[in-house]
């Protein structure tokens, strides 16, 4: 009876398949297997390995997520940088700010003179103070070798006070965007519409001569 009872109260070790009495089972697991198996019969070392594999998978997934996030952020920054560059380039091309002016040229009571030697294919901007109003004008040498002068104001767009800027061999209206070849500037507006307002000039030796009355007569365009 006692043998059957002890046998009935025994337990099979899930690791080594030894039959151990229940009272000695825990000690057997510690002594023989060193906590190598749990009560559910799964070897603890195997469970730990599975746990480590699961942790490695989680770490790998987290790494991939971070990598994807970095890629997305980098792509977004690239798009913003490119878009910003395009915007800046466009904004610069459409700048409406006035061009810097040269020091005031020599003048008398009736004329303003520009030295021919100071002029080239880059437009030079000047101002004339007409009773407190700065009348802006520019001068440039065209591809024909002649000097071309006009107001820094459009016959149509002058009220916007945006003037012109040089783009290669043309002067471009900062308001409407129309372009005018420098070689064509310096004549009356024969067709109407946007046009760099005419300033008559004459050449006297090495100087370009502009009548002050021609500048002060366009004072209203800059008020």
Range of the domain at 19: 2-33
Least confident of 80-94, 103-117, 120-134, 138-152: 80-94
Average confidence (pLDDT) over 79-100: 52
**Has residue 73 been placed in a domain?**
no
Q: Does the residue 207 lie in any domain?
A: yes
Q: In angstroms, rounded to a whole number, what is the distance separating the alpha carbons of residues 19 and 13? A: 6
DSSP state of 14: T
In a domain, 57, yes or no: no
Residue 46 is predicted with a pLDDT of: 53
Q: How many domains does the chain have?
A: 2
Question: How confident is the model at residue 17, as a pLDDT?
Answer: 77
Cα-flanking dihedrals φ and ψ of residue 202, to 5°? -140, 155
User: Mean pLDDT across the stretch 45-58?
Assistant: 66
Q: Which ranges in the chain belong to alpha helices (H)?
A: 2-8, 22-33, 44-93, 212-216
The verdict on residue 103 lying in a domain is: no
The whole-number pLDDT of residue 47 equals 52
- Do 116 and 216 belong to one domain? yes
Q: How many CB atoms lie within 10 A of CB 19?
A: 10
What pTM was estimated for this model as a whole? 0.58
pLDDT band, residue 88 (cuts 50/70/90): very low
- 68 or 215, higher pLDDT: 215
Instruction: For residue 56, tell me if it sits in a domain.
Output: no
95 lies in a domain? no
**Bridge partners (DSSP) listed for residue 165:** 172
Residue 62 lies in a domain: no
Percent of the chain with pLDDT over 90: 54
Q: Quick check: helix, strand or coil at residue 113?
A: strand
Q: How large is the average pLDDT for residues 202-206? A: 97
Mean pLDDT (whole number) for 165-183? 97
Q: Is residue 135 very low, low, confident or very high in pLDDT (cuts 50, 70, 90)?
A: very high
Q: Are residues 118 and 206 in the same domain?
A: yes
- Please tell me the predicted confidence (pLDDT) of residue 90: 40
Q: What is the mean pLDDT of the chain?
A: 82
Is 55 a member of any domain? no
Per 3-state DSSP, the chain is made up of helix, strand and coil in percentages (nearest 5) of: 40, 30, 35
Instruction: Report d(CA 27, CA 45) in Å as an integer.
Output: 18
Alpha-carbon distance values, 85 to 75, 79, 81, 97 (Å): 15, 10, 6, 20
Q: Give yes or no for a contact between 174 and 185, defined as CB atoms under 8 angstroms apart.
A: no
Q: In this predicted structure, which of 4-13, 43-52, 57-66, 174-183 has the lowest mean pLDDT?
A: 43-52
User: How sure is the predictor about 76, in pLDDT bands with cuts at 50, 70 and 90?
Assistant: low
- CATH number, domain of 186, equals 2.102.10.10
């Amino acid at each position: 009876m006692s043998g059957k009872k002890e046998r009935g109260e025994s337990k099979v070790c899930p690791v080594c398949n030894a039959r151990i009495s229940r009272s000695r089972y825990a000690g057997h697991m510690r002594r023989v297997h060193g906590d190598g198996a749990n009560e559910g019969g799964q070897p603890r070392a195997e469970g730990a390995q599975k746990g480590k594999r699961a942790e490695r998978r989680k770490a790998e997934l987290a790494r991939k997520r971070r990598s994807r996030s970095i890629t997305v952020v980098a792509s977004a920054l690239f798009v913003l940088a490119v878009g910003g560059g395009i915007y800046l380039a466009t904004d610069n091309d459409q700048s409406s700010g006035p061009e810097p002016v040269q020091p005031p040229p020599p003048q008398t009571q009736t004329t303003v003179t520009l030295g021919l030697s100071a002029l080239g294919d880059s437009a030079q901007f000047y101002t004339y103070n007409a009773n407190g109003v700065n009348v802006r004008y520019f001068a440039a040498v065209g591809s024909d070798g002649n000097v071309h002068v006009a107001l820094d104001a459009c016959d149509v767009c002058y009220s916007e006070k945006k003037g012109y800027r040089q783009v290669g061999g043309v002067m471009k209206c900062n308001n409407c965007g129309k372009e005018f070849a420098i070689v064509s500037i310096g004549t009356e507006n024969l067709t109407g519409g946007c046009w760099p307002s005419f300033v008559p000039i004459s050449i006297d030796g090495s100087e370009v001569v502009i009548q002050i009355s021609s500048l002060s007569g366009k004072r209203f365009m800059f008020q």
